[in-house]
């Protein structure tokens, strides 16, 4: 029997990248999966590809989160694994950050993640698993991440608090912090193919393992944390970055 047979998993932002890879892994291991995303057609396409249920939902909207919870309750009643993966990033110098950019990142990355879990809480089975997707930018102090980094660091802090608060219900809460991972976000940077290759090469040289990670590798970590194999793990932060954070000064 697979690890998630007869289990219900919800993945926000599951139509691409790490969310998509994780949702597919859940399906392959027997789970019934719900994915969300803001782009209706992208969600529909991804859901059909991996045989999941797709629901259009914006994590930055509390009304959308309420509707999502209502639909999942109607479909399945309860949830065993919740992967709060949806997030956005705008990488700009501190003195150029606008209020709209600040609000958008905080509303989706932190506020949206916070209330997604709060509103799903009545649906979570005893012994359920919650995993937040954060980033190594919660630690690194990388230039141009003055909003993105704190939005992820807040999620790491929330993980520790909620792991303690939800322990009486045996609900485990962990957070995964990826470093450089090859996803579709690279194609949204507006660079030429040559520019993308140069950027990738430069990033690879900073990673001790000399390569970029894959969404599938992050998915394996998330599904492990969501399974009974990790039944004694809660409140933990897992960095998956090929060692890039080991020596940021001299790397």
Assess whether 139 carries a catalytic annotation. Answer: no
Question: Out of 20, 76, 139, 148, which one is annotated catalytic?
Answer: 148
The 3-state DSSP class for residue 207 equals coil
Task: Name beta bridge partners: 82.
Answer: 10, 130
Residue 206's contacts (CB-CB under 8 Å, 6 or more residues apart) are 180, 244, 251
Task: Confirm if 176 and 238 have CB atoms less than 8 A apart.
Answer: yes
Q: Is 127 left (phi over 0), alpha (psi -120 to 50) or beta?
A: left
* Residues 123, 78: Cα–Cα separation, whole Å: 5
Q: Measure Cα distances from 2 to 25, 30, 35, 78, 230 in Å.
A: 11, 6, 20, 19, 15
Task: Confirm if 159 and 114 have CB atoms less than 8 A apart.
Answer: no
The token duo for 69 is 């919870």
List active site positions.
148
């Amino acid at each position: 029997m697979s690890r998630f047979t007869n289990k219900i998993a919800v993945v926000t932002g599951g139509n691409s990248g790490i969310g998509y890879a994780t949702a597919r892994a859940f399906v392959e291991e027997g789970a019934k999966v719900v994915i969300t995303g803001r782009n209706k057609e992208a969600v529909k396409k991804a859901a059909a590809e991996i045989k999941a249920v797709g629901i259009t939902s914006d994590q930055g909207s509390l009304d959308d989160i309420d509707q999502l919870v209502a639909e999942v309750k109607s479909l399945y009643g309860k949830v065993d694994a919740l992967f709060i993966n949806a997030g956005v990033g705008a990488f700009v110098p501190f003195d150029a950050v606008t209020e709209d950019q600040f609000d958008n990142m905080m509303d989706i990355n932190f506020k949206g993640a916070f209330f997604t879990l709060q509103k799903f809480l009545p649906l979570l089975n005893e012994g359920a698993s919650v995993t937040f997707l954060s980033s190594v930018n919660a630690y690194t102090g990388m230039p141009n991440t003055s909003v993105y980094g704190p939005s992820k660091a807040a999620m790491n802090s929330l993980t520790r608090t909620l792991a303690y608060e939800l322990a009486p219900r045996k609900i485990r809460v962990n957070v995964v912090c990826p470093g450089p991972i090859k996803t579709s976000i690279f194609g949204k940077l507006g660079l030429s193919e040559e520019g993308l290759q140069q950027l990738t090469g430069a990033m690879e040289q900073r990673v001790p393992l000399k390569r970029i990670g894959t969404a599938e590798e992050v998915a394996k970590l998330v599904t492990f944390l969501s399974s009974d194999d990790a039944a004694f793990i809660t409140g933990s932060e897992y960095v998956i970055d090929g060692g890039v954070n080991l020596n940021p000064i001299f790397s």
